[in-house]
Amino acid sequence: MSPNTARRLVAPSSGAQVVLDALKAEGVDVLFGYPGGAILPVYDALHSSDLRHILCRHEQGAALAADGYARATGRVGVCMATSGPGATNLVTGLANAMLDSIPMVALTGQVPTQVLGTDAFQEVDTMGLTMPVVKHNFLVREATDLPWVMAEAFRIARSGRPGPVLVDLPKDVQLANVRVQQPKPHTNPEPTRLVTDIHPSIQLLKMSKRPVIYAGGGVGMADAVDVFRKFVETTGIPTVTTLKGLGLLPPNHPLNLGMLGMHGLEQANKAVQASDLLIVLGARFDDRVTGKLSGFAPHARVLHVEIDPSEVGKVRAADVSIVGDLGPALETLCHQLERPLQIADWREKCKRLQAEHTWDYEPPHEKVYAPRFLKMLSAAQGPHGVIACDVGQHQMWVAQHCGIHRPENHLSSGGLGTMGYGLPAAIGAQLGRPKASVINVSGDGSFMMNVQELATLKRYNLPVKIVVLDNSCLGMVRQWQELFLEKRYSETDLSDNPDFSKVAEAFGIASSRLWRRDQEAESINWLLNTEGPALLHVAVDPQANVWPFVPPGHDNSTMMTGESK
């Protein structure tokens, strides 16, 4: 019998056990979840397994923890929930991973196959519900399909442009005895176009006088940070990054102009607007980067290097494109160029822009100034620590003022902008990198979104350090209301916040408060040197805004600078 068609007999094993065996075969060491009736057979098998399960206190927390684990480690994150509300609670986390291209596998329980479609207890159409927010999903109807489905789920999640994959497991499939393992279907890897003629790319580079590298999260996901840095050094081209691209260059690198876009640094936006060539690496011309598209880098031609062909030309037409893995593409370009481009005058101009827009960290008041505090916190943490952000003003302050040295050290919800992301993501990062210093920077609005995960933090005694920047309002929304809605502050007042320090203490977590800037160094020292989890409740000015700011509907040459000057 041909080895390609033979069926291999295996000892009887439940579908649930096959699922766990598949996780172990994929190298999974930790998964995040919350049990319920329809996923109970998997949890029963888990009881005698050496897989480490982390009980989060909400399914959204489990999905976001798996996301943080994946970003911090580069491995596939795994989460698990029951049917019905368990599955629906995962959806935000799946959408978050989908928009940021994070490799995840989610397992959901489902009602038995014989009652599918009858509106059985806790039945929802999980496949239909999640289809728009996953890279792929499976509904397993036969237990014998489990081995290949699980292998495919992991292959799809990590290959090409990564993303989340969901496997829906009816209860009878989990309980069934699996006596025959179906041969794994032959699947070709996602096609990657091999570009042999890069002459047009080289010509564009050599012809340009004012080139700028615009790098996004795809560089880190391609595990191409080192070759990217080599490319920057080889070409000598000034570089800007997206929110997800922070850390691709060290923060003090002379060619690093910082983040571009709506809350990008002035030198970054001005360099892009003046450029004659954009080398776009693993980025997708997001609207928060470009502002008004017709005015974005109006004089620049575009060289776009991207693994996902659907992104090339989707928003901005490329003059030349390379579709394929970033690492090999950049290696080839480096080899062909061999020496820096003749753009000394342009580099000098960008250097002057950096000097001209140096940030002033000494405001006249005695309150805690968030940019200054976060810069001090980042410096004290050191270059190898992880910062997991929530979403809001504090997210942009972290991006602007914290020294990010590697992209896997900066966990931030980019495409979806998920409030409540930071704490579970920090939990996932700490479990994936137990020796790393992990800080969650949150705002008072975001923190309350998944505050229940303090119980997870305490249960496993994870040494995550939490900073809650409390301005008693939904700061980013309030800023827009101030600037564009004539100060009509509708439903952004959070002045009835609880005392977050006491909230932490109620969970058994050490806490402290910071109210004045002369206490900053002492408070940071306390936070980083307290054993186990700890929370620092920081009061910041409710009127403080994030600057610079490109107003909606404008291009990046229109930057409001406010108090940053």
Rounded to whole angstroms, how far apart are CA atoms 236 and 60?
43
Q: Any idea what DSSP says for residue 562?
A: G
Cα angle 135, 137, 138 (rounded to 5 degrees) comes to 155
For residue 59, indicate whether it is catalytic: yes
Q: Which residue, 295, 239, 244, 287, is CA-closest to 267?
A: 239
From residue 338, alpha-carbon distances to 219, 240, 332, 420, 476 in Å are 21, 22, 10, 46, 45
Is residue 38 within 8 A of residue 30, CB to CB? The reply is: no
For residue 376, indicate whether it is catalytic: no
- Phi and psi at residue 245, to the nearest 5°: -95, 0
Retrieve residue 242's tokens.
């997206």
For residue 122, indicate whether it is catalytic: yes
Q: Any idea what DSSP says for residue 161?
A: S
Ordered alpha helix ranges (H), 357-474: 370-381, 393-401, 422-432, 444-447, 454-459
- Phi and psi at residue 334, to the nearest 5°: -60, -45
Rounded to whole angstroms, how far apart are CA atoms 180 and 144?
6
Beta bridge partners of 320: 303
362-389 burial, b if ≥16 CB within 10 A, otherwise e? eeeeeebbbbbbbbbbbebbeeebbbbb
Is residue 168 within 8 A of residue 81, CB to CB? The reply is: no
Is residue 437 within 8 A of residue 384, CB to CB? The reply is: yes
Of the residues 135, 171, 270, 465, which is catalytic?
Answer: 171
Retrieve residue 401's tokens.
């003022």
Beta bridge partners of 137: 166
Q: Using only C-alpha atoms, what is the Rg of the chain?
A: 25
Of the residues 17, 32, 59, 104, which is catalytic?
Answer: 59
Of the residues 24, 121, 203, 522, which is catalytic?
Answer: 121
- To 10 degrees, what angle do helices 15-25 and 146-158 make? 30
Residue 161: how many other CB atoms lie within 10 Å:
18
Sheet with 52-55: strands ordered across: 52-55, 30-33, 77-81, 104-110, 164-170, 136-139
Of the residues 376, 476, 500, 559, which is catalytic?
Answer: 476
Is residue 98 within 8 A of residue 59, CB to CB? The reply is: no
Residue 204, H or E segment = helix 199-207
Rounded to whole angstroms, how far apart are CA atoms 142 and 514?
57
Question: Which residues are designated catalytic?
Answer: 59, 121-122, 171, 476
